[in-house]
Chain A
């Protein structure tokens, strides 16, 4: 009887899980085998046609590759900067509380609004970045009209927005570290660099891996910054998978192909992030232990 009650109490939760996770996922998978598009509203079975098209869709795979600078590199830079700022805050600076709040401001602003602000900052005619560059005697840069500068502009906006997130997690990690290893290192005569490399960094590994993985999951879905700053341009040079999926599924209303790309993206990133997490975990283990 007690078992029955237990199962009954589980039922609402299970139902919710099915409704909001399992069903949409299965529905999306079913869509990938259909021809649901702007002119065909329904599950007309087309077998693996969408999957075959996805495999040779150069635009999609180019967008996936673009995540190397736009997501992976930005997360790495966010980690380095976030860690550096967290170390400064941890060590103690004047007006520490004020600076802690100040560093969190970018993360607390609305991404799409900040992207518009960054777009204005990088405006090629009236933007302050080019004003400074010209003031220094250099030629203005076509920030949003050429491929490399456009990628850099988006990276800057992303780094500015999300470094505070890294800072917050890493500072929490630093504050939770025990004091004894640092005292021991100090007694053994270790300098600040050696203490950082052999004590702080290894002890921060679990927090670091968690922070990096969380940010990678989010950063790989980069959409709002691209949408507001470049619309994927110039050409398609800043188009990311999520932006391309949005164009395919929602703008063109090619739901079947959009669903296929979404599921592919999901599978690729589950595999990729699993590998990255394992590699980072392995690297963070003390050697010889």
Chain B
């Protein structure tokens, strides 16, 4: 539709602009790599029934990773080795390693060896995936066959993505995806995203603090309340601050605290352009997502932004408070830093994605026996945007888990090698690869299929402690059934909306503005974005989000 606006004359101009913009984009920093193009045999020796998948042959980074036997199926090693894609090129746009970029590259190499295809994986920072995709689509240069990215961009890109063929939906591992994952992959009833991951934010905590008698007594004396895993953000902040101060005061540290590692209350993603918007949404959701209010979390029925309503402001106030109990250098803390920090035992709490939890449970982790998972904290009261009042829900605590996009992949509609592209994705997510990928925290691949929701898998195959595995699966299961969930703003201009929000939140974190002023400015910017893009276009797309929020599908 959009491309039809171009005239022939303009397309020449556009090509030059595209070239210039691509050069500019390149300046922003990217890495490009390609595998052993054309040299690989179409059928790799030794790939047949019972083939043992062992990543360790791909370098020291994979020493000690799980090895599994290839699982028969249309995407298996055995089946892929029967295909011959020699002479065909696949262009993949992915995230920088390790999160998703590393498995994308690893599976590209494996796929090349099995099929003889040439796979070029371009790896760029998260926001650049969006801009590079957009540039490719708008200018019609068709630079990529496969794009890995966040599902929240579906509102922008659905018309450029190919529908996933039925054969993959029915016969591949996609069929085992949970209902929630299947819903997220769809746009107006058509599956446009190839799900390789499912994401939700949840709480990770150190069990050796809660089982520590000294910590229990000290907390009881300070607050007159029993030390228990926080059920609200208020409790979360209070405990995080208390144990940060207690540790800093000297004389106490968690029972299993690794030597030489300082201890802080919480580690959070606070780097402005590095997924901080997601952490903020988790902080805000229980204050602003009322279970009885339907018709929009992000906007009301008249497309008035809700980003500065009292619920959002309260969440931001909590987030700002967290600056006092996170490790130094918070403004540079992106997802990778959060994973590393919690994984090495630097914090009592962490939330956002699974990766930090998987990292903390890996064999090399020094806190492996001392972590557990729980649902995200809730709020004692929630803002009702219809009544304009704070309200308390039945049960006392309002929970509103954030289903934070999830890595997905899509094959572009304009790709000349769609079958090859879908086969690559199919191979990426085959049972053997998916099983191993789940256990490597830095990969960013998390449970998305029914078979993954089994504590026995995590204890027996991944070697997790029973409490870690059971609390993890229990937590994930509550998210599948919760009906007060928050989803991403999957509308045209998602990147602009989130960038504006992240900037406002960052300004509040840095003390440049009060939370209210910062979010008022965000709301004003959102209104100008709506005006620029068009309220009708955004409203149309937002209806699909509301269907998810209000459980209408």
Which of B274, B495, B507 is close to A251, meaning CB atoms less than 8 Å apart? B495
Residues 211-268 of A at the B interface (beta carbon under 8 Å): 223, 227, 230-237, 246-247, 250-254
A284 within 8 A of B: no
Which interface class (under 10, 10 to 19, 20 to 34, 35 or more) fits B?
35 or more
Q: Which residue of A lies closest to B272 (CB)?
A: A233
A119 cross-chain contacts in B, Cβ below 8 A: 332
CB of A35 within 8 A of CB of B331, answer no
Once bound together, how far apart are the Cα atoms of A176 and B328, in whole Å? Answer: 50
CB of A147 within 8 A of CB of B510, answer yes
CB of A250 within 8 A of CB of B493, answer no
B27 cross-chain contacts in A, Cβ below 8 A: 223
Smallest distance from the beta carbon of B87 to chain A beta carbons, Å?
33
Mark contacts of B499-521 with chain A using CB atoms, 8 A cut-off: 1 yes-contact digit, 0 otherwise. Answer: 10001001111111100000000
CB of A232 within 8 A of CB of B272, answer yes
- Chain B CB within 10 Å, residue with most, of A24, A35, A41, A124: A41
Q: Which residue of A lies closest to B506 (CB)?
A: A235
Smallest distance from the beta carbon of A182 to chain B beta carbons, Å?
45
Smallest distance from the beta carbon of B157 to chain A beta carbons, Å?
10
Once bound together, how far apart are the Cα atoms of A87 and B328, in whole Å? Answer: 41
Smallest distance from the beta carbon of A250 to chain B beta carbons, Å?
5
Once bound together, how far apart are the Cα atoms of A146 and B509, in whole Å? Answer: 10
Which of A23, A53, A145 is close to B16, meaning CB atoms less than 8 Å apart? A23
B127 within 8 A of A: yes
CB of B506 within 8 A of CB of A38, answer no
Which of A40, A150, A236, A252 is close to B496, meaning CB atoms less than 8 Å apart? A252
B510 cross-chain contacts in A, Cβ below 8 A: 145-147, 233-237
A43 within 8 A of B: yes
- Secondary structure call for the A interface: loop
B225 cross-chain contacts in A, Cβ below 8 A: none
B327 cross-chain contacts in A, Cβ below 8 A: 125
B220 cross-chain contacts in A, Cβ below 8 A: none
Once bound together, how far apart are the Cα atoms of A233 and B6, in whole Å? Answer: 38
B84 within 8 A of A: no
A38-B492, A235-B512 known; A227-B156 Cβ under 8 A: no
Smallest distance from the beta carbon of A113 to chain B beta carbons, Å?
10
A37 within 8 A of B: yes
Q: Which residue of B lies closest to A125 (CB)?
A: B328
Which interface class (under 10, 10 to 19, 20 to 34, 35 or more) fits A?
35 or more
A237 cross-chain contacts in B, Cβ below 8 A: 510, 512
A67 within 8 A of B: no
Q: Which residue of B lies closest to A38 (CB)?
A: B493
Smallest distance from the beta carbon of A58 to chain B beta carbons, Å?
8
Mark contacts of B474-502 with chain A using CB atoms, 8 A cut-off: 1 yes-contact digit, 0 otherwise. Answer: 00000000000000000011011001000
Q: Which residue of A lies closest to B518 (CB)?
A: A235
A246 cross-chain contacts in B, Cβ below 8 A: 24, 28
The residues of B with any CB-CB pair to A shorter than 8 Å are 2-3, 5-6, 10, 13, 16-17, 20-21, 24-25, 27-29, 127-128, 130-131, 134-135, 138, 156, 262, 271-274, 327-332, 492-493, 495-496, 499, 503, 506-513, 528, 532-534, 537
Besides A119-B332, A237-B510, A250-B24, 16 other A-B contacts (C-beta < 8 A): A38-B495, A39-B2, A39-B156, A40-B2, A42-B10, A142-B328, A145-B328, A231-B272, A233-B331, A233-B332, A236-B506, A236-B507, A236-B512, A251-B128, A251-B131, A253-B130
10 tightest A-B CB contacts, nearest first = A235-B510, A124-B328, A234-B510, A234-B331, A235-B507, A124-B329, A39-B492, A42-B5, A41-B138, A235-B512
The residues of A with any CB-CB pair to B shorter than 8 Å are 23-24, 27, 35, 37-43, 53, 59, 112, 119, 123-125, 140, 142, 144-147, 150, 223, 227, 230-237, 246-247, 250-254
